Amino acid sequence: MSKFGSMSRNSVATKFLMPWLVGAFVLTVLPLVATILLSCMEWDGVDPSQARWVGFDHYQHLMDIKHDQDHDSATRVDVNRDPFFYRSLYNSLLFAALATPLSLFVSLLLALMLNAPLRGIAVFRSLAYLPHVLGGVATILIWSWVFNPTFGPINQTIEWAYGVLDPVVRFFGGEGTGSWLLPGWLASETWCMPAVVCMHAWTAGGAVFIFLASLQRVDPDSQAAALIDGANRWRRFRLIVLPQLTPAILFNLITGFAASMQSFNYAYLLYNRAQNDGLLFVVLYIYRCAFEPPYRLGYASAMACVLFVILLVLSSLTFITSKWWVHYES
Amino acid sequence: MRADAQYRAVRYALVSIATGLLAMPLIVAILVALMPIDEVYSLPARLIPSRLEWSNFTDAMRRLPFLRFMCNSLVVSACAVMGAILTSAMAGYAFARFHWKSKRFCIVLLLGCLLIPAQILLIPHFILYSSLGWVNTYKPLIVPAWLGGGAFNVFLFWQFFRTIPRDFDDAAKLDGASHWIILTRVMIPMAKPVTATVALLSFVYHWQDFQRPLIFLSDFQTYTIALGLRMYQTAGGGWINLVIAASLVAILPVLVVFVITQRHIGPCARVVDQEAPGRPS
């Protein structure tokens, strides 16, 4: 009887779990295995009989391991490593390395500001969160106008500031600001990355509510005790508030880094020739290899696997270091 | 007392400056969308239009099948949101209320799904959907939402359901309610913050999703609004004011959903923050 009871309980659980379980296997586990298998194949995705097993050739090509010269060297044309892959990987890593800390800083600052018992604070909280949900194609188009090198409001403001500074510079014996250049933003190789990092930081409000939740758990007694001990504002923040926020910081660090390494829209929508591949993100390069002729699904999968390993290693390292700086209350 | 008033004033000023800065691009966008095109491309640039060109908005919608794109996106997002709420609540209910043999394995699977980057699954997804003949339909966009709706949503429901006392289940069971009734009539209504948050997150995800429609849709009659805006971008070199007008209209539905659901995000974050696993309690 009891066995029957537990069986039926098992089957009820399975019933509720089924949609997710099917999804987890068909849409996550199997594709993961498929990506790894595909990365050892050459296939254009059209005719399954054309698929060819090539072993670790793609990885060798990506990592520029010297090929055995005697071994069918005539068929190998492209022995040099793929420069675009390294460029794109560098761009994505740079973007993630800049955008993740900046976003974290912005959202933490917003959360600290918004953690006050003021009337109407809820409205401000919602406003701070809003860019996070609006971030998409529409706001990227808006931002690309804001960064327009000639007519955009940012460069217009900078030009105005140059005008104001001009007499000052002349006063100190300079040549005036007439020769000072305006940043080319999305039409320049050097400035496209800062522009996109800024766009990304604008959507940082997503973490505000997580930080607010942690802030509201900060023990008021320890705050008061520190106040009596004569700790100043900064010390109170660093020694009492910040440690309580570290679990949320760790969470946002890992998810934010993974998300920026995988960001596609900026690179795809804002691409132009003047950037000289300065915005070629690794995900965009993978997309182009896989979904544009000659449809190299195997090669693209190999790059995807490399990306996965990089993310796995970096997240694990972050997680391992967390035991030195993340504080869980006991 | 005076210090308190000062503190408030400083706080209000800081908060207003911060949110004002965040609102800046949107304010610029509204002004540009209402400008006649010759003023947009005039130097020195003007910030305030000399006259408000409201016809920009109607013009923008006539250039390309804008309303078609909006309807497509509404259908996709609405179907996906329903699926995401229902199936992730079901899985969350199972995790919160049942114990079964392979539960430990399922938890590992759930956390694993959270960690696997979606980008590396796209190529196999494309192969799967094209072999099913689903390319150029909305199935690749909607069906995944009905299969669990994302590990994070399952996780949110699970953590929130854990905080609901079992007395409610027991009371419903005494009244002869099945698990299905308990979930849909007791648990989901009690988990309003999570339901609202999941609805918002998955609506935003599907409304803003650009890459998957780009891969799975090719006929422009089926385009979602994100792809539609890309068409505006590539076609609208000379009428940026209309492109921005279209962009502003395209974010209105997100704004509406946000206004309806936003008051639940805070409570949801608070409960999940307290209940997160790995936090020794």
Q: Is the dihedral of CA A16, A20, A24, A25 positive or negative?
A: positive
Average pLDDT over residues B139-149: 94
What residue has token string 């760790």?
Answer: A250
Task: Give Cα A152 to chain centroid, integer Å.
Answer: 26
Domain match, A266 and A133 both:
yes
Question: Are B124 and A38 in contact (CB < 8 Å)?
Answer: yes
ipTM value > 0.90: yes
- On whether any CB of chain B is under 8 Å from the CB of A104, the answer is no
pTM: 0.91
A172: Cα within 13 Å, side-chain hemisphere: 5
Indicate whether B201 pLDDT > 90: yes
Q: Assign domain B65-275 to a CATH class.
A: mainly alpha
> Going by C-beta distance under 8 Å and a sequence separation of 6 or more, which residues neighbour residue B184?
none
Question: Are B204 and A133 in contact (CB < 8 Å)?
Answer: yes
Indicate whether B216 pLDDT > 70: yes
Chain B residues close to A308, C-beta within 8 Å: 116-117, 120
The confidence score (pLDDT) of residue A4 equals: 42
Domain match, A196 and A220 both:
yes
CA pair distance A70, A243, nearest whole angstrom: 60
Average pLDDT over residues B74-80: 97
Domain match, A252 and A107 both:
yes
- Supply the CATH number for residue A268's domain: 1.10.3720.10
Q: CA nearest A202 in B: which residue?
A: B22
Other CB atoms within a 10 A radius of the CB of residue B156 amount to: 26
Q: How far is B126 from chain A (nearest CA, A)?
A: 9
Question: Are A136 and B262 in contact (CB < 8 Å)?
Answer: no
Q: Is residue A204 part of a domain?
A: yes
- Structural domain of A11: 1-37
- On whether any CB of chain A is under 8 Å from the CB of B125, the answer is yes
CA pair distance A223, B60, nearest whole angstrom: 55
- On whether any CB of chain A is under 8 Å from the CB of B148, the answer is yes
Q: Is residue A78 packed enough to be buried (19+ CB in 10 Å), middle (13-18) or exposed (0-12)?
A: exposed
Nearest to A141 among B117, B126, B233 (CB): B233
Domain match, A162 and A227 both:
no
- SS3 label, residue A122: helix
Task: Give Cα B123 to chain centroid, integer Å.
Answer: 24
Q: CA nearest A297 in B: which residue?
A: B123
> Which pair of structure tokens corresponds to residue A90?
């560098």
Q: Using CB atoms and an 8 Å cut-off, which of residues 53-92 of chain A contact chain B? A: none
Lowest mean pLDDT among A211-225, B210-224, B265-279: B265-279
The confidence score (pLDDT) of residue B1 equals: 52
Q: Is residue A288 part of a domain?
A: yes
- On whether any CB of chain B is under 8 Å from the CB of A161, the answer is no
The confidence score (pLDDT) of residue B281 equals: 32
Chain A residues close to B272, C-beta within 8 Å: 213
Q: Which helix (H) or strand (E) holds A88?
A: helix A83-114
Average pLDDT over residues B108-124: 93
Q: Is residue A266 part of a domain?
A: yes
The confidence score (pLDDT) of residue A166 equals: 86
Going from N- to C-terminal start, the domains of chain B cover 65-275
Q: Is residue A243 part of a domain?
A: yes
The confidence score (pLDDT) of residue A80 equals: 58
- SS3 label, residue A317: helix
Q: Is the dihedral of CA A102, A103, A104, A105 positive or negative?
A: positive
> Going by C-beta distance under 8 Å and a sequence separation of 6 or more, which residues neighbour residue A76?
A67
The confidence score (pLDDT) of residue A176 equals: 74
The confidence score (pLDDT) of residue B154 equals: 95
Q: Using CB atoms and an 8 Å cut-off, which of residues 26-45 of chain B contact chain A? A: 26, 28-29, 32, 40-41, 43-45
**Structure letter (DSSP) for residue A41:** E
Domain count across chain A: 3
Indicate whether B171 pLDDT > 50: yes
Nearest to B229 among A38, A137, A301 (CB): A137
The confidence score (pLDDT) of residue A330 equals: 54
Q: How far is A70 from chain B (nearest CA, A)?
A: 34
Domain match, A220 and A121 both:
yes
CA pair distance A264, A100, nearest whole angstrom: 15
The confidence score (pLDDT) of residue B101 equals: 87
Under a CB-based contact definition with an 8 Å cutoff, are residues B29 and B247 in contact? Answer: yes
Question: Are A19 and B147 in contact (CB < 8 Å)?
Answer: yes
Q: How far is B22 from chain A (nearest CA, A)?
A: 7
pLDDT tens string, chain A, 330 residues long: the values are: 344 444 466 788 889 999 999 999 999 999 999 999 999 999 988 888 888 899 898 998 888 755 545 454 444 444 456 889 999 999 999 999 999 999 999 999 999 999 888 888 889 999 999 999 999 999 999 999 999 998 999 999 998 898 888 888 888 877 777 778 899 999 999 999 999 999 999 999 888 888 998 888 877 777 778 777 777 888 888 888 888 899 999 999 999 999 999 999 999 999 988 899 999 999 999 999 999 988 999 999 999 999 999 999 999 999 999 989 898 865
> Going by C-beta distance under 8 Å and a sequence separation of 6 or more, which residues neighbour residue B232?
A141, B60, B63, B64, B242, B243, B246, B247
The confidence score (pLDDT) of residue A261 equals: 96
